[in-house]
Amino acid sequence: MVAVTELNVLEKSQWCPGCGNFALVGALKGALSELGIPQHETVIVSGIGCSSKLPHYVNTYGFESLHGRGLPVASGVKLANNKLTVIDVGGDGDGYGIGSGHFIHIMRRNYDLTYIVHDNQIYGLTTGQASPTSQPGMKTKTTPYGVVETQFNPLAMAITGGATFVARVFAGDAAHMKDVFKQAIAHRGFAIVDVFQPCVTFNKLNTYDFFSKRVYKLETQDPKHDTANKALALEKAFEQVKTDYEKLPIGVFYKEDRPTYEDTIPQIKDKPLVEHSLSGIDISAAYEDME
């Protein structure tokens, strides 16, 4: 087992006491350690937000990018060296708001990446504005009379958009979260795990108590949830809306095997780009084409 070195998150982090991010980073470290992935072969990329400070608290390579731009940076890292384990982390505002175009198109490509979304249903770092996943009716600084828009459904978007591993977990259940993170990282292809991550400071609706009373695990269902059934996965993704937020399934919704983007590019299929020699490359024909 490879131990992913502890940085003292409690002392060094700028997260509020009680934030769901603490359990999330602990589960991610545990998953990487138990999978035995060496720290020097792991890159954690992020965007901007409370969530995106996470690479500072894990002793792997890290890259804090721009708001909503974690996924293009992560895919660039993967294309440069597809031997690396690459994980992108971000928030709901970051990934489902400004970064939503990247989110949709990265899924079609099926890079071998893991995308973990700290979905606290609010903008935390900017002190409490409604985000794309804010629950209808929730009062925030920007919605004093309650959110009137339809809630963005990341799981439905991922299932229909081409993600090959789609899951959701709750930050109040660390053991389950770690187990699903391990499955997502081990999966070959684009894996998304949306995390119900309570923001204890600005989201007074979707609290630990709120989630604890409503979440249930798909894998304990009888009959067991069939993760290969796309129609069923989609039905489960809409269950929270259909039940007026009374039943919130967590676990693996959908999974499929499909060749990754890297596997279909002959230049990098067997040898990462970083290992190619730069000598003897003649690009004059490309210039001549442009004349």
Binding region for ligand SF4 (CB under 6 A): 15-16, 19, 21, 50, 120, 124, 199-202
Quick one: what does residue 171 bind among ligand SF4, Mg ion, none, with the CB cut-off 5 to 8 Å set by partner type? none
Please identify the residue of the shown chain whose CB is closest to the bound Mg ion.
91
Q: Which residues of 4-18 are buried (b: 16+ CB within 10 A; e: fewer)?
A: beeeebeeebebeee
Quick one: what does residue 92 bind among ligand SF4, Mg ion, none, with the CB cut-off 5 to 8 Å set by partner type? Mg ion
Least spacing, CB of residue 134 vs Mg ion, in Å: 9
Q: How far apart are CA 197 and CA 122, in angstroms?
A: 10
Does position 194 interact with Mg ion (CB under 5 A)? The reply is no
* Contact string (CB under 5 A) for Mg ion, positions 153-182, x = contact: ------------------------------
Strand segments (E) across 19-164: 42-46, 61-64, 85-91, 114-119
Going from the C-alpha of 16 to that of each of 12, 22, 54, 76, 195, the distances in angstroms are 11, 9, 13, 32, 18
* Residue 53 or 102 with smaller CB distance to ligand SF4: 53
Least spacing, CB of residue 201 vs ligand SF4, in Å: 4
Q: Under DSSP, is residue 213 helix (H, G, I), strand (E, B) or coil?
A: helix
* Residue 120 or 240 with smaller CB distance to ligand SF4: 120
Quick one: what does residue 94 bind among Mg ion, ligand SF4, none, with the CB cut-off 5 to 8 Å set by partner type? none
Least spacing, CB of residue 17 vs ligand SF4, in Å: 8
Q: How far apart are CA 95 and CA 150, in angstroms?
A: 17
- Cβ–Cβ under 8 Å, residues 98 and 125: no
DSSP state of 57: G
Alpha-carbon 27 to chain mean position: 13
Place of tokens 């290969």: 228
Least spacing, CB of residue 213 vs ligand SF4, in Å: 20
> What is the footprint of Mg ion within residues 76-115 (CB under 5 A)?
91-93
**Residues at the interface with Mg ion (CB under 5 A):** 91-93, 120
